[in-house]
Structure 1
């Protein structure tokens, strides 16, 4: 179950057409856009991809299109956001047939959280029954998996190869990196603190900002790798306003608006998400302009 995950792994949007169907052509264009900018992997059907709204069949359609377009150039991860072990496994088995390299799986979150032993068993069973490597997607605020438990899973469950640490802000990330789990990698999804996350030891990022401005995020990652911290900090100060502009309710439609302002097709949002207002779009435009991604 070895897979080379590192660096900048954008979680792609799922483009929908006007009838709320998956727009495979728009999706494949986004895959090409990111590959051309040197990303190290791609994630589909996660939070940024409206994974919670997708049927298993929709998820498989998205994953299959991404895998075909990538054609083995970088790893492809597919997200699953479900509330039972059986449903996650059902999705995972369909996704395995598309050729994805790994699954990104949230803990269950509505309404109750299992204890530590059952959380470990949850991830163990998913990895064993799908036969795919698994990344923990630690994002659900009211079902946040403690750093100690994440470290145990990474060290004790061979099929779990990484964690995307999103919830709990940088303090949770710091605790997890302090435990230094040897069984898997730690990726940051604390968008406003990507640079400090790398300095603390995160082995890459899987987060929404990467989707909006992958070229800047790859440049920042490269700057950190070569020790150019002045450049990495300068890019941080470009990325921060972009994150502030897209963060908030209905975030995926905000992200799609940010793509549209760059001439990219993220497609429509899916009901019942609220379309961005003119004020929100102008805020996003200003942030992208300051970052040098769009012109006035």
Structure 2
């Protein structure tokens, strides 16, 4: 399946049972909610998906199940976050066999590669697969920035097609567009900046709170792209306190708690993460319940 790299791509949480195994029923329930809300693709095994705690076998199982459940309705993108180039290549090669439609690539993990090393890491993976690739550029959390000059090299590969723009600098959307035109698709990777980046020309949104609020997320995207900015702003103002939960180191626990409150998931996480307790839990729950108490009526956004 080709990927247009446009629209809303949820970075899905990984659902676990109380015993710590993959919760296939909860995964299916959330996936169906995303599809019904109108998402344009899904991403598995990202930071929000607790990638660092998943085995390779579990990641492969998630891809296979998602491909079977979605039946080609939207593309399935697998995130690759590895310390070894060899292992990243192996996963990329196998992803196509499992039915994945594309890949999202983080820079090398655990080693702070320089620009040359980082570019070569991405190039080596791109050479190993025909799958379309989105580069995840998040220097805030992963300490490596993919610069414009590095993208100049990377875009020589036809299958490197998009960037998850998470520098938290809205102007980078314009820098990328000025330098590369439409050669690269730009997807906002920071929930709190989505409207600003979409207005400035981003093509899509790799979203986090969409896991708990899929309809609201897709509605904002479609309203912005339809030019109905007043409606998009109003909805985004309601959403912002929730979206800010995506900016915390405990974003996994925060968003999973939101999924519980909207009936789309469970709180189960894998150690070293632990469920929220005490004052922190009360604070996050208050944000969620306050928002749900005034949850807005949505327009018929799917008709846009």
TM-score (norm. length: structure 1): 0.91
Could you tell me how far 1:239 is from its partner in structure 2?
A: 1.9
SS for the counterpart of 1:180 is helix
Whether the aligned pair in 2 keeps the contact of 1:261 and 1:294 (CA below 8 Å) is no
Aligned residue number for residue 251 of structure 1: 251
Whether the aligned pair in 1 keeps the contact of 2:267 and 2:275 (CA below 8 Å) is no
Aligned residue number for residue 260 of structure 1: 260
Superposed counterparts of 1:84-233, under 5 Å: 84-116=84-116, 118-141=117-140, 142-154=143-155, 156-233=156-233
Whether the aligned pair in 2 keeps the contact of 1:14 and 1:45 (CA below 8 Å) is yes
Residues 167 and 20 of structure 1, relative CA distance in 2, 3 Å threshold = farther
Residues 293 and 152 of structure 1, relative CA distance in 2, 3 Å threshold = farther
Could you tell me how far 1:278 is from its partner in structure 2?
A: 4.2
1 CA distance for matches of 2:179 and 2:33?
Answer: 36
Whether the aligned pair in 2 keeps the contact of 1:262 and 1:293 (CA below 8 Å) is no
Aligned residue number for residue 275 of structure 1: 275
1 CA distance for matches of 2:257 and 2:129?
Answer: 35
Deviations 1:202-253 (A, max 9, x none): 0000021222322111111111122111011112212210022343122212
Is 1:29 matched up with 2:29? yes
Whether the aligned pair in 1 keeps the contact of 2:33 and 2:214 (CA below 8 Å) is no
SS for the counterpart of 1:9 is strand
2 CA distance for matches of 1:167 and 1:136?
Answer: 12
Aligned residue number for residue 6 of structure 2: 6
SS for the counterpart of 1:137 is strand
RMSD over aligned CA atoms reads: 2.1
Is 1:63 matched up with 2:63? yes
Q: Name whichever of 286-295 and 251-260 sits farther off.
A: 286-295
Whether the aligned pair in 2 keeps the contact of 1:245 and 1:283 (CA below 8 Å) is no
1 CA distance for matches of 2:293 and 2:94?
Answer: 37
Whether the aligned pair in 2 keeps the contact of 1:242 and 1:284 (CA below 8 Å) is no
Could you tell me how far 1:87 is from its partner in structure 2?
A: 1.2
TM-score (norm. length: structure 2): 0.89
1 CA distance for matches of 2:211 and 2:159?
Answer: 27
2 CA distance for matches of 1:140 and 1:108?
Answer: 12
Deviations 1:12-64 (A, max 9, x none): 10011122221122111111010011111111111111112222111101111
1 CA distance for matches of 2:151 and 2:169?
Answer: 15
Aligned residue number for residue 45 of structure 2: 45
Whether the aligned pair in 2 keeps the contact of 1:78 and 1:100 (CA below 8 Å) is yes
Could you tell me how far 1:109 is from its partner in structure 2?
A: 3.8
Whether the aligned pair in 2 keeps the contact of 1:137 and 1:166 (CA below 8 Å) is yes
Q: Name whichever of 123-132 and 83-92 sits farther off.
A: 123-132
Whether the aligned pair in 2 keeps the contact of 1:13 and 1:50 (CA below 8 Å) is yes
Any stretches of 5+ residues in structure 2 without a counterpart?
296-304
Could you tell me how far 1:132 is from its partner in structure 2?
A: 1.5
